[in-house]
Chain A
Amino acid sequence: MLPVQWATSLKFIPSSTDKLWVDDLTREFLLESQEGLDRMERGLTELESRPADAELLAEIFRSVHTIKGTTGFLGFPRLEALAHAGENLLGLLRDGRVTADANIVSGLLALLDRLRGILRTIEATGVEGEPKHDDGAMIGRLESLQGAPAAGSSAGRKPATPAGAETGAVASIGSRVRRPAKKRARREEAPMCVAPLRDPPVAEEAGPQGNERAVARVAEERETSSSHADSASSPRPEAVAAAVSSASPVAGTADCTLRVATELLNRMMNLVGELVLTRNQILQANSADAAFAPLGRRLDTVTADLREAVMKARMQPVNHVFARFPRLVRDLARSLGKPVRLELEGQETELDKSLLEAIRDPLTHAIRNAVDHGIESAEIRAAAGKPPEGLVRLRARHESSHVIVEVQDDGAGMNIERIRAKAIDRGLVEAARAAQMSEREILQLVFLAGFSTADAVTSISGRGVGMDVVRTNVEKIGGKVEIDSDAGHGTTLRLRIPLTLAIIPALIVHSREQNFAIPQAALVELVHLDADQVSVGIDWLGNAALYRLRGRLLPLLFLDRLLQQPPREQGACDIAILNADGRRFGLVVDGVADPQEIVVKPLAAVLRDIGVYAGASILGNGEMALILHPGAIAQSAGIGLTEETQEAGPDEANPAARDDFLLVETSSRRAALPLETVVRIERVPPSRIERAGARAVLRFEQELLPLNGVMDESGAAETPTTVVICREGTRQVGFLVNRVLDVAPGSSLREAGTSALSAGVALLRDQVTEIISPGCAPLPATCEDCPGLAAELQA
């Protein structure tokens, strides 16, 4: 017992995020309005391609209408006036009296930015603030758009109307804004409405000066660049701040709240109820009680389920981030004068909320780069025989415990030689070294700080702060970035993001009686060397240790020497073969313990600065393990990048479509498990398999493992059963199989399967084999039972 025990109160330290001047009602309004505006933005960008979509128009109208209604009630006259003007225009659009064109969409988008700006001001100060830009001009612009001709054909007939209508509109707003608004509207906004970019005849007739069109273009460009470039003098810095940097230390209202499905919340509540019940029972029972062991097991399952539910609640569809990109691409494309289409795919893929926020900036950078540098101008595209409209594809999908986000463009691709020359020119790499580098290595050079391939530095990107920012941000959250390029056909940037930050699968290893964790993501395989094999197996070239792995030399690093631990007598050791961002090496450790799902805890800056540790974790037995950072270790040891394809066979030309599978035989048929998800294979006596309710479970490393698959009841009870333990999200599941057959590469045919998400089939050794997805129990039917499907797949 300690002589003294205290806890000082921290109550009087005020929270910096406390904004007393924003009451609950306003906060709610802000949140709702921001969501409404997000919907409106999505709708507007779609509107350009589908101007007559009544449903779309109705939705946009509703968003603005809701804002108008609430603002009047809360007393925000600026917002109300602006929303009202927007609503009027949208009303006409909805009724089909005006047809949406690029100008109207631009006008409405400008309104949207203005509304957002005011909302941010309210969030920060509680009041709307004085208009920096004249609202009257904006309202005038919107009203003049109402007078715009309903159809392109009638455009030429009333050239003078817009300007006149606009002046009238401004006058009607009130004396407060009359003078400056009028002037401003004339100078800046009027050209916008009388000289649509895509309608030259109108411009010629309407403009008092012949060069009005040029003015319009300039105005338009200023418009887009002001909301998307990071110039400090921008009239709308709020939009800029959100797009370019996350400088704001205080998270906005929308960032610190989360919408969670009531159903999920109910489930969490039930689990907590069960947890409390179990706790009560444990408190009453004593350790000698026979009921104690099952109680412990129940506690374990409930905890695991609860953890999973909480993690799930943090998951948000990537659409939250993707939704802003159509607008971004539209504005960029217009300011650059290149037609570009954005295709989104896999928007429903879910990712942890904090990670979602973290990939926002890198993705914005990547998309800008794709549109600005990737896509060529329409003329060059035509000359290369490509469709004039460029295509940027943004895709998200799950891949084992990662989410892959790809930004793909069909542009010119990257010029390897130019990158090489540039890197040498910038002093990023020595000429002699650059000459030896593989294409893949050269491509990765763009991620170095201070690299830019743009010939002309444009206002949008190419200031040399593109890709290195992308890489740093993604690596900060434990992700990886890769770039692939096909000269003439485009570039693909691939972000590999872990599903969640908090929990990672890791392998626990020992070095001098101390635990260390190696993230599974970097682990390729393990090699065990017995004491007598050590001297034979490890080759030395001077001071460099090498290991012959299937004929190839692999550089070795010794963890104990790396950590300057006291030397020990030579004995058996294990080599963990690691691949850290393309750097392959073997890490020699004293011993290997178990793979575990570990909770990552941050380390103090002093320890982080050592450069070897990525964090720490508290293990099940209460001990702590430092998490090693394979990338940093490889880099500090000077391990170079390796061609990833070197080891791959000739049939692995397209790695995306091919995966390795573990072939198993279950009670009468062949099935396959994706090798990526397999954690280990265990032989257990049937007596160790217990039943918890309807489910078979196995006690395994102090954890309860739910088992899938039919237990062979008829089989002899003494022969051990094989259990394949797979990773499913953040937990593990076991599969009962008769025996493990082989590991084979297979082409995934998942998309063609009937239940595309839960299970599928693959071509393995030219046989259609069912894939068991760890997420669910295997299908009751085999492929042989549905010959139609099998035939279809083979066709």
Chain B
Amino acid sequence: MKREGTASIPGSRQEICSLKAGGMHFAAPLARILEILGKPFVQHVPLAPDFVGGVVHYRGEVLIAISLRGLLGMESASSKGDVLVFESGNGPFGLIVDAVGEVLSVSANDLEPCPSNLDSRCEALMAGAWKLPDRLLIALDPERLEPQRVASAAAQSRKGSHAD
């Protein structure tokens, strides 16, 4: 079921949820968030790739949680973060952020494609930037955060760097 279609209709309004990670501001489409877990216990998984923050207990299941800081190549946070639960084709997964902000109603016209001078790692994750009156929010695309997709992308870039 594709739900991101709403973003492309010019002028239509949609709700986004603002997030913070490592001093940067992000936003995720509200319709894609299953649930927000407030500062849950995240169990570290040894040997897991860097972008995996660990596993969390979510409704009787053990859920893999992607760390947004890890994805951006930042140090992991010293304090507990919030976890957003997204649904994907391979089941739900969590995204660890430093803190969840607020829900904002934005117009699809405010979404700008990726600025070209952005960090490449950041660029891979973002669907664009939301232009708010007072600040910019990086629009996250849950599709691109899906653990397996991130894993294969990481494997690709590793291969690329080896080739260099």
Contacts and interface: CB of A to CB of B under 8 A. Distances in A.
Tell me whether chain A's interface is mostly helix, strand or loop, or mixed: loop
Interface stretch (A357-365, A599-607, A701-709): A599-607
Interface stretch (B32-40, B67-75, B123-131): B32-40
A5 B36 contact: yes
B45 A607 contact: yes
Contacts of A272: none
B93 A604 contact: yes
B99 to A, nearest CB: 9
Given A4-B103, A12-B1, A604-B147, A622 B35 contact: no
B90 A604 contact: yes
Given A603-B64, A618-B57, A3 B1 contact: no
Contacts of A610: 45, 47-48
Contacts of B100: 2-4
Contacts of A602: 62
Given A6-B33, A622-B41, A624-B55, A606 B17 contact: no
A564 interface: yes
A714 B62 CA distance: 50
A618 B55 CA distance: 11
A605 B103 CA distance: 32
B148 interface: yes
A626 interface: yes
A7 interface: yes
Which 9 residue pairs are nearest across A and B when measured between Cβ atoms? A563-B46, A604-B64, A616-B62, A601-B62, A624-B43, A606-B147, A2-B38, A606-B151, A610-B47
A2 to B, nearest CB: 5
A514 interface: yes
Given A607-B55, A616-B62, A624-B62, 20 more contacts: A2-B38, A6-B30, A7-B35, A514-B43, A603-B64, A604-B64, A604-B90, A604-B93, A605-B90, A605-B147, A605-B148, A606-B48, A606-B49, A606-B52, A606-B150, A607-B64, A612-B47, A624-B57, A626-B43, A626-B45
Nearest to A4: B103
A385 B27 CA distance: 80
A287 interface: no
Nearest to B34: A8
B13 interface: no
A130 interface: no
B7 to A, nearest CB: 16
Contact of A4 (B36, B52, B93): B36
B57 A604 contact: no
Given A4-B103, A8-B31, A622 B57 contact: yes
Interface in A1-18: 1-8, 10, 12-13
B41 to A, nearest CB: 7
A3 B31 CA distance: 16
A12 B2 CA distance: 12
Given A604-B91, A605-B90, A8 B33 contact: yes
A624 B56 CA distance: 8
Contact of A607 (B31, B52, B61): B52
A4 B18 CA distance: 11
A647 interface: no
A10 B103 CA distance: 20
Contacts of A622: 41, 57
Given A606-B52, A618-B57, A624-B57, A514 B44 contact: yes
B61 A601 contact: yes
A565 interface: yes
Contacts of A12: 1
How big is the A interface, by class? 20 to 34
A623 interface: yes
Interface of B: 1, 17, 30-36, 38, 41, 43-49, 52, 55, 57, 60-64, 82, 87, 90-91, 93, 100-103, 147-148, 150-151
Interface in A94-139: none
9 contacts: A6-B30, A8-B34, A514-B46, A601-B60, A607-B55, A618-B60, A623-B43, A624-B55, A626-B55
A338 B101 CA distance: 75
B46 A565 contact: yes
Contacts of B31: 8
A336 to B, nearest CB: 44
B91 to A, nearest CB: 7
Contacts of A607: 45, 48, 52, 55, 64
A5 B35 CA distance: 7
B1 to A, nearest CB: 5
A3 B93 CA distance: 21
A607 B46 CA distance: 10
A613 B33 CA distance: 28
Q: Which of B30, B36, B48 has the most CB of A within 10 A?
A: B48
Contacts of B17: 4
B59 to A, nearest CB: 11
B148 to A, nearest CB: 6
Contact of A2 (B36, B57, B90): B36
A616 B61 CA distance: 9
Nearest to B3: A8
A607 B64 CA distance: 8
Contacts of B57: 618, 622, 624
Contacts of A609: 151
Contacts of A617: 62
A503 to B, nearest CB: 14
Nearest to B66: A606
A637 to B, nearest CB: 14
Nearest to B87: A10
A9 to B, nearest CB: 10
A601 B34 CA distance: 20
Interface string A577-608: 00000000000000000000000011111110
A524 to B, nearest CB: 24
Interface string A1-37: 1111111101011000000000000000000000000
Nearest to B152: A606
A3 B52 contact: no
B50 to A, nearest CB: 12
A618 B62 CA distance: 8
Nearest to B44: A514
Q: Which of B30, B38, B45 has the most CB of A within 10 A?
A: B45
Nearest to B42: A624
Nearest to B151: A606
A564 B36 contact: no
Contacts of B32: 8
A606 B62 contact: no
